[in-house]
Structure 1
């Protein structure tokens, strides 16, 4: 039988470009090349789609530097319409060659212009199957304001917050912000990987924290801090059932006041994942139930990581859902599944099979 072709798509225009590249390295190294033809497509920081190396070792962190997609001199063009499944490459000289048919795309972009429903919309327009959530779930998963609206509507507990926009700034909402109490976390509403987040312990730090978040997104979320344990759960949708992993607990170490970008990606000793956790069985079961409900609340598909806080009295408060979580072999998502006996290549294979079998169009 002819092997299906998967396009691993990564990089992108967001501030999480490098994280996306590292994630792609993990996936490229895990795909079974005897079962899949693999095409690597990178998106440069300025948005050019280009042919990239499918060698996993090309996309690692070297001496603390994140990898970057550079132009190959060739531009990749997706199909022009739903009636064609052929992808093309335009060379530097303008010559066009066929890249062949892509059966399924594994979109590994993080942040805006990729994880937020924009890429998913493009693929929907041309009837290309892809791994992960669709347009609406991806958009809500990226925008913390509307994510929390969906969670509240589903009856899930979330942290109190105030949204700062160009139309409603800090001064107009200062009374509501102060009512949150200290400390608060200030974060970009549409960014991930803990970029642009500050912990504010004094109100004279607020303006600087908002300005820092706005370097990543003009819309900013100010959230009340939750005193509790930071717990993550990996969600995996198979062809027949929705699965949740054993919960994992994030414990920051060293000089990190919270689970920031450096602790996640650059400091090998910045955080520890405890999996299994010491949660009481009833609390662990509640965490799993909340994770599944959060996934359904945004109409997720394929995979997600749900982050919650467990307070001292055993209550669970949802922090956020990541519809395309970091997916390197050392990332929390595959490590939690490894604790359940599901290894990285098996995860990748399941996701590709589910995406390939999923119909295109409305469903």
Structure 2
């Protein structure tokens, strides 16, 4: 689309950016397909932009059906790229809001202004503040959390540190940073063993900066530790080790309204007998169904909604958050983590919780875009 054509359109132009370099690339593509299907084209012009696993930006087909999970296989940006698309470059000059497209070796062609970006990247190199920083530098408004809150939401260690400093209840954990492991792996292993002695088995060994349950292992004893560390470090050189919290898994969505953030009705993730925990297969392949709304008392529902909004505020979030909790056997809630860009697949919990709260899928997408358009970039 040319600048002239774009200027004649009264509708805001939304660049939907998805894919990316993280291990959650395919889930991001599926999420984008669902969002593209739901965006009201009578209110918005849409420009789908995919980022490949090696970091190339590509114009993609505006075809949500090609972006869905099919035959237990997940799609990639390459599979839906427009034929001949060589790359898309977001501007890095402050004050410019246009997107340009260029074939390799050719002069860029102007695709027109972009009023707002809907970043649907999951994991590092997109959900962690990196893309948000680029957009801030360019002065382009975008949906969701800013640079700092995106970084906090991606790093499980610092997320827990922030929550604890704001008085939110967190579970026991220990962290092995890259330099610690490289300098003295034996000492790092011993720290994990000492942690298990204090808090008991089983343990969960996780990449500190990943999502969609990628790279997580549940280990019952010392015999599984080496493989678990190797698997976690395959996704992130920094790992976090958490103790088992015995209780029910409860989730709650937070959405930014004109008068501030509000919490949805909560949901419960039931135990899946064929899985050790709510892992990637259970979430996306076997389609484990959460219970919405969660069967909680009025007091429990009010408490988890309060904690979800407090977590949103503690991490200085904007737009949306999915907050994940454990309801312990003693009746207390412990926050496990937040997700600043939760999945929007048809089976994802965030849209289901808001559907049960009276905000259907198209309205949810519209609210997020309008909230982004109301905000300015820069310090706020």
- Within a 5 Å distance, the mapping from 1:147-226 to structure 2 comes to 147-169=159-181, 170-173=188-191, 174-226=193-245
Moved more, 177-186 or 212-221: 177-186
Q: Which residue of 2 is the match for residue 316 of structure 1?
A: 333
Moved more, 139-148 or 249-258: 249-258
State the Cα distance separating 1:120 from its structure 2 match. Answer: 0.2
Q: Which residue of 2 is the match for residue 277 of structure 1?
A: 294
Larger relative helix fraction: 2
Contact 1:22 1:66 in 2 (8 A): yes
Taking structure 1 as reference, are residues 176 and 345 closer, same or farther at Cα in structure 2, changes over 3 Å only?
Answer: same
Q: Which residue of 1 is the match for residue 6 of structure 2?
A: none
Q: Which residue of 2 is the match for residue 239 of structure 1?
A: 258
Equivalent position to 2:59, from 27, 51, 55: 51
Give the aligned length.
Answer: 361
State the Cα distance separating 1:177 from its structure 2 match. Answer: 4.4
Q: Which residue of 2 is the match for residue 63 of structure 1?
A: 71
Q: Distance in 1 between matches of 2:53 and 2:347?
A: 24
Q: Deviations over 1:253-293 (max 9, x none)?
A: 2411110000000113xx22111222111011110011111
State the Cα distance separating 1:80 from its structure 2 match. Answer: 3.3
Matched, 1:227 2:239: no
Give the 3-state SS of the residue equivalent to 2:225 in structure 1: helix
Q: Which residue of 1 is the match for residue 270 of structure 2?
A: 251
State the Cα distance separating 1:105 from its structure 2 match. Answer: 0.2
- Within a 5 Å distance, the mapping from 1:1-363 to structure 2 comes to 2-70=10-78, 72-169=84-181, 170-173=188-191, 174-268=193-287, 271-363=288-380
Structure 1 alignment gaps of length 5 or more: none
Moved more, 302-311 or 170-179: 170-179
Give the 3-state SS of the residue equivalent to 2:270 in structure 1: strand
Q: Distance in 2 between matches of 1:121 and 1:282?
A: 40
Give the 3-state SS of the residue equivalent to 2:110 in structure 1: strand
Contact 1:161 1:180 in 2 (8 A): no
Contact 2:31 2:344 in 1 (8 A): yes
Runs of 4+ in 1 over 6 A off after TM superposition: none
TM-score normalised by L of structure 1: 0.97
Contact 2:205 2:216 in 1 (8 A): yes
Contact 1:129 1:355 in 2 (8 A): yes
State the Cα distance separating 1:93 from its structure 2 match. Answer: 4.4
Q: Distance in 2 between matches of 1:175 and 1:276?
A: 39
Contact 2:126 2:132 in 1 (8 A): yes
Q: Distance in 2 between matches of 1:330 and 1:227?
A: 25
Aligned Cα root-mean-square deviation (Å): 1.2
Q: Distance in 2 between matches of 1:30 and 1:320?
A: 27
